[in-house]
Amino acid sequence: MAAVLLATTCAVVYGMADFFGGLATRRSRVLAVVLLTQVTGLLFVIPLLPILPGAPSPGALAWGMGAGLCGGLAVIFFYRALAGGVMSVVAPTTATMSVALPVLVGLILGERPEPLALAGVALALGAVILVGRDSAPAGGRTTLAPVVQALASGLGFGAFFILLKQAPEGAGLWPLFGARFASILLVAALAVVSGRTLRPGPGAIPTIVAAGVMDMGANVLYVLAAQRGLLVVVAVLVSLYPASTLLLARWVLKERLNAVQASGIGLALGAIALIAVTTT
């Protein structure tokens, strides 16, 4: 039950982080937002390292750095796909791939959830697709490039979840330290090579800091959930994060939810309930 609560809370916080990150990208370039949120997250997790149990090790840092490289690339691919494609195609493609890969790997590694939990996983997969549907009419056509970028983004996010799960027991939050360190180096190198500015737009710093703190807070919750539950279950629950982004946009920005998105949120709640019943 603890893993379900942690993973569900993680999904809520991830969704909030995406909301604030989306607001920040309206005022600043993507690489600037990504880098500054990563730095903020690193500063947030450092004081937690000696508080929560865990010790650094080459294995913990290596798995974390691998996860950080995959996660950093995933964010960049995701924003590029959104810039060149239709949201109603890009978002479901990314979200579905990001949850399907951990589920597949978890089953290959021998994880066998209870039948009701598997039913919840199936419901959650459907919820991810429905929640990702854009509320605005899709008036444009999506070319091949954004679809490929969306698939790559989903693979990156899925790999991030998988690699963090592989960190050795007793690692605590040190894999997150390695992940954030690697992603910072990656984004900074890409900015230097591409000549892009890393200066945030006017008034964007508070929003970027909020996004960075929430993103790292969600990462901490994911690591704690992954230490207590199956990858198949935890990754699926975490991947429901777009639901909280939509609800926050509805509340703050007064954006409307369409019927498909609303049904996706309802389906997500049903999936959580089914999975929770099997873990009590």
Q: Residue-wise pLDDT tens for the chain (280 aa)?
A: 788 899 999 989 988 887 888 788 777 888 888 899 999 999 999 999 988 888 889 999 999 999 999 998 988 887 777 656 555 566 667 777 888 888 888 888 888 877 877 787 788 777 777 776 655 544 445 567 777 888 898 899 899 999 999 999 888 899 999 999 999 999 999 988 988 878 888 888 999 999 999 999 999 999 999 988 888 888 888 888 777 777 787 778 776 767 877 787 787 778 777 777 665 4
CA pair distance 152, 79, nearest whole angstrom = 12
Burial of 258 (0-12, 13-18, 19+ CB in 10 A): middle
Tell me the pTM. Answer: 0.83
For residue 266, CA distances in Å to 74, 229, 235 come to 27, 24, 19
Question: What tokens appear for 171 in the block?
Answer: 């690692």
Distance between first and last Cα of the chain = 5
Per the CB < 8 A criterion, the answer to whether 63 and 159 are in contact is no
Per the CB < 8 A criterion, the answer to whether 228 and 6 are in contact is yes
Question: What tokens appear for 112 in the block?
Answer: 């066998």
